[in-house]
Structure 1
């Protein structure tokens, strides 16, 4: 069973995180202090860490920075009430793998945790992605479906890469916005719907099994065969 360390000083939030991770098959331990959290992260082999940005004892930025200095590569999902883009960038530059702003939905938390757990498994030097008969070459920057070349715009290529790297997992609209476009999700825009629609038309041709599915109320998932 994967193990999670929840470093969060707010008890209500911490219990919600522990419950949500537990519902998705993770054994979660909780600590409420930054220094204690750092000690636990260094001593125990966790598969993922959720880390509050502002903590007593030691700030979340300092915790993740110290982990990376000591070559601990456990995926870190930083959670913060600070929604400023500069804060998000600071957290990611310090060594965080993803950044979630409070308040957040349980589904959003679970989706991000699952993506981080999956992201840890592929080899870092992976340059070619394959999902069923869909291939993406990250070096030559080309895409094929059933051996036929696909013409993708740069944003479509990045979007497809993100979906393929997380094949089989639901990725939310906010995750797509942040990882493909690089800024916070604007609920009033339809840019994701437009790009998903274009991508579908290019990769899901007549007579082919559709690979991109919409998960109503959650996001999108690219099919995967193990």
Structure 2
């Protein structure tokens, strides 16, 4: 049974999500502010976190950043209060894997959670991929750059893995979106651009690079 943490201060939304997810067969815990949510997320072994952007005591961005800085790659779905691009980019830039805009339907939430859990729990082959100065450990879900561990979110790891498997091939945003977020994903394709940007930042000193192919998408090359 998957274990899910809901960090949401609006009691009506918290109760609705908790009820629907319990009915769907998930083990659910809740927190009503960012500080308590962070403590639970840090100490609990959760498979997925539903995290509101605006929270008392500690906002969702800070909660997510602190977890990522500590190497926690739990799948995070950020909830934003309005259909605002700044909110979405802010949430993703903090390390969230996906976002949802309020109001939303219970079916939509459960569909997104199922998709996230499928990707989080996907079995990886017991092998290592090496190219130039980077090593991707698929069993441990770790990236090493010049033998130094680089912290990646779950989605960043999946993206780099897919780019490495398709080195030298131009991949469209739509293909990356469909492969890594799923056919059922109905969010903006710019989520791909945000994750590419974050991945590039972490590979700044590497001999490999992610090139932008105008009119197509992205391609990984070794310089």
Question: Residue 211 of structure 1 corresponds to which residue in structure 2?
Answer: none
Distance 1:176 1:111 in 2: 17
Question: Residue 138 of structure 1 corresponds to which residue in structure 2?
Answer: 166
1:75 deviates by 0.9
| Unpaired stretches in structure 2, ≥5 consecutive residues | 125-137, 139-156, 195-223
Matched, 1:127 2:139: no
The match for 1:162 among 163, 167, 177 is 177
Q: How many residues are paired up?
A: 159
Distance 2:116 2:64 in 1: 15
State the SS of the aligned residue for 1:171: coil
1:57-136 aligned within 5 A: 57-120=57-120, 121=122, 122=124, 123=138, 124=157, 126-127=161-162
| Unpaired stretches in structure 1, ≥5 consecutive residues | 129-136, 143-153, 183-226
1:166 deviates by 5.5
1:79 deviates by 0.6
Distance 1:99 1:35 in 2: 20
1:15-26 aligned within 5 A: 15-26=15-26
1:25 deviates by 2.7
1:178 deviates by 5.6
1:44 deviates by 0.7
Q: 1:60 to 1:180 in 2, by over 3 A?
A: closer
Contact 2:34 2:60 in 1 (8 A): yes
1:59 deviates by 1.0
Distance 1:40 1:166 in 2: 26
Larger radius of gyration: 1
Matched, 1:175 2:187: yes
Contact 1:159 1:176 in 2 (8 A): no
Runs of 4+ with deviation above 4 angstroms: 176-182
